[in-house]
Amino acid sequence: MTQDKVVTLNEVIERAENWQSEGKKIVFTNGCFDIVHLGHIDYLEKARNLGDKLILGLNTDASVKRLKGESRPVVNEYARSRMMAAFEFIDAVVLFDEPTPKELIEKVKPDILVKGDDYTIETIVGADFVIEKGGEVKTIPLVKGYSTTSLIEKIKQI
C-alpha cells in the first residue's frame, strides 16, 4: 500500500538507518508538490536514479501557506502525501512544518541531497551538513515550461 510510504519522522529515521546499514544510498529531496506536473515527475525520477532509495520531505499545508501565500496549497497535505507515495520511484514521504528542511536532513542523514538547478549548491539548505558527513549535493536540470504557479495562472484564464 502506498499509505505505508507516508511515515512519521521517527519512522523515516529508522528506515533510513536500516537502508544505510544494508549499504543502500539514500537520496533526499523536499518541496511542496502542490499540483503535480511533468516537471515534478522528471525531477523525482532523476533524483531517485542517483541512489537506491528516495526520501521526500513534503511541506505541510501550513508551511506551504507561509511560503506561497494564503491561497496555497491547492491540494491538501493528506492528498499530496498519498499522491507522492504512489510513485514507484519514491520510497518514503515525510511531512515537515519547519521553515526549512534543515532539521529533517540532519536527522535523516542522506548520502545524497538533491534540488532543482534553480538552486546552487551554496543555496541548498542542508548542503553543508551533508558534505561535512561525506555525502554529495547535486542539482537536477528542471524541465522548462512547467511550474505549479504557471498551471494555476493558466487555469485562471479558462
**Cell numbers representing residue 81 in the block:** 502525501
DSSP codes joined into one string, 59-97: E-HHHHHHHH-TT--SS-HHHHHHHHHHSTT--EEEEE-
Give pLDDT, residue 114: 98
Helix (H) or strand (E) holding 57: strand 53-59
Q: Tell me what pLDDT residue 93 has.
A: 98
Walking along the chain (158 residues) 10 residues at a time, the average pLDDT comes out as: 89 98 98 94 98 98 94 95 97 97 98 96 97 98 84 85
**For 2-156, which CATH class?**
alpha beta
Helix (H) or strand (E) holding 6: strand 6-7
> What are the angstrom distances between the C-alpha of 143 and each of 14, 41, 45, 106, 140?
33, 10, 12, 29, 9
Residue 129, burial from CB neighbour count under 10 angstroms (0-12, 13-18, 19+): middle
Considering the entire predicted model, what is its pTM?
0.94
At 1 the pLDDT is 63
> How far are the Cα atoms of 12, 23, 112, 124, 132 from residue 139, in angstroms, in the given order?
23, 23, 10, 9, 18
Q: Give the C-alpha separation, 59 to 41, whole Å.
A: 17
In this prediction, residue 50 carries a pLDDT of 98
